[in-house]
Amino acid sequence: MMMLLGCMASLVPADRPDDTAAATDSAVDTGGDSAADTGSPPDTDSTLDDPLPFCVNEWMPNNASSVATNIGYYEDWIELHNPGTELVSLAGYTVSTDRAEADPHVIETLDIEPGGFAFIWANGEEDEGEWPITLPADGGELAIYAPDGRGTVLTWGAVATDFSIARSSDCCTGDDCLGFVYQGTPGSTNVPPSTREVTALAAGSTWAYLDTGVDPGSTWNDVGFDQSNWLSGPGPLGYGDDGLGTTLGYGPDANNKYITTWYRSATSIRELDGIVSATMGIRRDDGAVVYLNGLEAFRTNMAEGPVDATTLASSSAGSYNETAYFEFPIDTSLLVAGDNLVAIEVHQHAATSSDLVMDAWLMIERVE
């Protein structure tokens, strides 16, 4: 996710300084109070117009976990982008971390295909795919000049660990162009992909349920559990409330109702490729523990620790809490291609509770 905090870094077109030019002729002020926890906002008056046929599209001065080298090191990196329709060669260009550098690194060969990206390690080494510079995390400068003297100079303030500085759209210019991106998007477009939401499990779906108050055993939430002796019905399921799809039993004593009921429902997900997030909404009165394919996904209004058929919910749900669908992010690594099992146990806060309800939905977000 990109965080646009004004201009958090700046880029100015610049001619290569000669021996008599002051190094600060086209510099910008990168001071100021820190912005969020990601870095310091620099001067916002500088332009982002690029004099070169490519742009520095993204860079990370403080890489600790975003992307590793082939031997497992986390090093500074730079991403270049060619937005044009012709190949761009950087042979003969120079790069340094000081525009007044007397002996900048000369790029021997680097081609960027039309519409393509080039990823470079800024690790202090001089080899293919590496530049002999490093990017200071507490603020610095990156200067790239063409052989004819045209150049681009970027400056930035302090940047938090694992945040890149990126253009909000590839090679964009103008106000609010630059932002911080956690982990970055090294070697690829900065434009978030177009996504769509897909309902994997709808509210009101059919659930197998057990309302006998008898603990079904530790494997009840496993995919292969035999639920053939369970009843089934559409949600919402419960008792004591209006608008229920299925009315459940609570035992022979209205003053000593069963504490726990159990539910299982399956949904099919054709493929995992392209899934970027998943969210579950649950209506529960009073508390619930939710499992996906046998593993706990989250719990709501339930204390941490082991639960059994007698475990009480943390508090009584009332008014709005009885009808609302509470939303929780789902770890997409819990999903599998094909059939997925959602298993839920709902717990009352007291055996004298007047009502019970459970319903849930599962939404996934896919790249289009």
In order, the DSSP letters of 113-163 are: -TT-EEEEEESS--BTTEES----TT-EEEEEE-TTSEEEEEEE--B-TTE
- Paired residues of 95 in beta bridges: 105, 144
Tokens of 209: 């349920």
CB 327 within 8 A of CB 279: yes
User: Which amino acid, residue 63?
Assistant: N
Domain boundaries, the chain: 1-192, 197-367
pTM: 0.61
Instruction: Compute the distance between CA of residue 322 and CA of residue 346 in angstroms, rounded to an integer.
Output: 13
Q: Are 171 and 50 in contact (CB under 8 A)?
A: yes
pLDDT tens figures, 30-40? 333 223 334 44
In words, the CATH class of domain 197-367 is mainly beta
The pLDDT of residue 319: 75
In order along its 368 residues, the chain shows pLDDT tens digits of 444 433 345 555 556 554 322 222 232 223 332 233 344 433 333 344 557 999 999 999 999 999 999 999 999 999 999 999 999 999 999 999 999 999 999 999 999 999 999 999 999 998 889 999 999 999 999 999 999 999 999 999 999 999 999 998 999 988 788 999 999 999 999 988 789 999 999 999 999 999 999 999 999 999 999 999 999 999 999 999 999 999 999 999 999 999 999 999 999 999 999 999 999 999 999 999 999 999 999 999 999 999 999 999 999 987 777 789 999 999 999 999 999 999 999 999 999 999 999 999 999 999 88
Which pLDDT does position 13 carry in this prediction? 52
Class of domain 1-192: mainly beta
Instruction: Let me know how many helices (H) and strands (E) the chain has, helices first.
Output: 1, 26
Angle at 3 between CA 189 and CA 331, to 5 degrees: 75
